[in-house]
Structure 1
């Protein structure tokens, strides 16, 4: 991945984030146009999101690493997998891509290009949920890369599909996607004023996962212990 030049990696990050957001926002709009059942609408939104994550990581991962998420890029920078000099470019590309994704979804459904959300997503339970959601996402990525790298697209897609349903926040787990979703006053939106709480929780959850899994995945002395036990 690092063998490719930075411009191509940034375009891949922007494109992937745009397609992810267009799917999240667009499937939410489609779902609510087809049913008044909120649970059924969320199910449609969930399945589309999980599916596109598998596709995007599979096809764009070899180009940029398929972060599509500032929290994930931060973790890879802290773990020295992404050069510090590239972090700013990745985050900017993800933010721009996310905004474009919202605009594309709105244009497909003949809505205003940008419409700030009025959907309330605030409070301790939602912030805690975002921390847990992002912790789980980063844990899935780090352990997946270590033990079953080829399965990472499916692992991440399935994790997000599950996290939509076991978190009260419906698992944004992504600062760039959260920002993009503040630009749509539809099913998947979030009020701009609620963003700081989500961002802080997402970063804290991601860093906590990095520290824990750096310890969990660190090569240990199990072989030495096993040898001693046989004596």
Structure 2
């Protein structure tokens, strides 16, 4: 139990920092580059990619650095974690992402909680979320199952940085960060009415990824027994 508490603290803190990076850099980008959406996205994506690399290195050895309920659920599906632990991780991740969004708002002297008004849930956006989530999971679990876990922090950061640009949704790919971004009416925000559809699309992406991983990487290595540690 003590070990689980330590892992949950790591998941909470990592998720909080992830949301603070995403939301905070979005606010900063909007302030520094007003009227230039392309430059704002470049600034936001670069900060997110670099920050994700750092926090995976920081918390990976403790919890596996999931920071994402879909990663935790797929890990449980492959036997790398118990269902109870996966659900506990999910609670910590959602709470952390909400806390991180609130923290980012406060750091930029915004209202601590401001409900986002940016509607994003079109068919194209939802398809993009399925694709973004599948790609993220393939990166993580392919590296775990082929003995290349040490490269995962850089690979995950690079993938998310690229996916900001090649997906129309800017690659949320994470139910916890989707919930957190509802609490900041800023460049990175998502309106509550759009969030449920995003979460469903991300879960669908998780299911597709499980089938693809089983097909492409059927062999289980010692690392694959705990695939989330690919981010350590």
TM-score bin (small chain) = over 0.9
Aligned to 2:167: 167
Q: Give the structure-1-normalised TM-score.
A: 0.92
Structure 2, gaps ≥5 residues long: 221-232
Following the alignment from structure 1 to structure 2, what is the Cα–Cα distance between the partners of residues 17 and 85? 19
Give the alignment of 1:101-112 within 5 angstroms. 101-112=100-111
Following the alignment from structure 2 to structure 1, what is the Cα–Cα distance between the partners of residues 19 and 2? 25
1:114–1:184 CA contact under 8 A, matched in 2: yes
Q: What displacement does 1:219 show?
A: 3.6
Aligned to 2:204: 204
Among 16, 19, 22, the residue aligned to 1:21? 19
Aligned to 2:40: 41
1:144–1:155 CA contact under 8 A, matched in 2: no
Matched position secondary structure for 1:192:
coil
Aligned to 2:77: 78
Following the alignment from structure 1 to structure 2, what is the Cα–Cα distance between the partners of residues 213 and 107? 40
Bigger Rg, structure 1 or 2: 1
Which has the bigger relative contact order, CA under 8 A and spacing at least 6? 2
1:132-187: CA deviations, max 9, x gaps? Answer: 00000000001111221100001100000000000000000000000000111000
Q: What displacement does 1:119 show?
A: 0.5
1:32-52: CA deviations, max 9, x gaps? Answer: 101121100100000000011
Aligned to 1:140: 139
1:73–1:90 CA contact under 8 A, matched in 2: yes
**Aligned residues: CA RMSD:** 1.3
1:103-136: CA deviations, max 9, x gaps? Answer: 1101100110100000010111000000000000
Q: Give the structure-2-normalised TM-score.
A: 0.92
Aligned to 1:218: 218
Following the alignment from structure 1 to structure 2, what is the Cα–Cα distance between the partners of residues 165 and 152? 20
Structure 1, gaps ≥5 residues long: 221-231
Change in 2 beyond 3 A, CA 1:219/1:82: closer
Aligned to 1:11: 9
Following the alignment from structure 1 to structure 2, what is the Cα–Cα distance between the partners of residues 25 and 212? 32
Following the alignment from structure 2 to structure 1, what is the Cα–Cα distance between the partners of residues 92 and 119? 27
Following the alignment from structure 1 to structure 2, what is the Cα–Cα distance between the partners of residues 66 and 121? 27
Q: What displacement does 1:206 show?
A: 1.3
1:130–1:201 CA contact under 8 A, matched in 2: yes
Following the alignment from structure 2 to structure 1, what is the Cα–Cα distance between the partners of residues 96 and 56? 15
Runs of 4+ in 1 over 3 A off after TM superposition: none
Q: What displacement does 1:4 show?
A: 7.4
Aligned to 2:179: 179
Following the alignment from structure 1 to structure 2, what is the Cα–Cα distance between the partners of residues 217 and 64? 23
Aligned to 1:87: 86
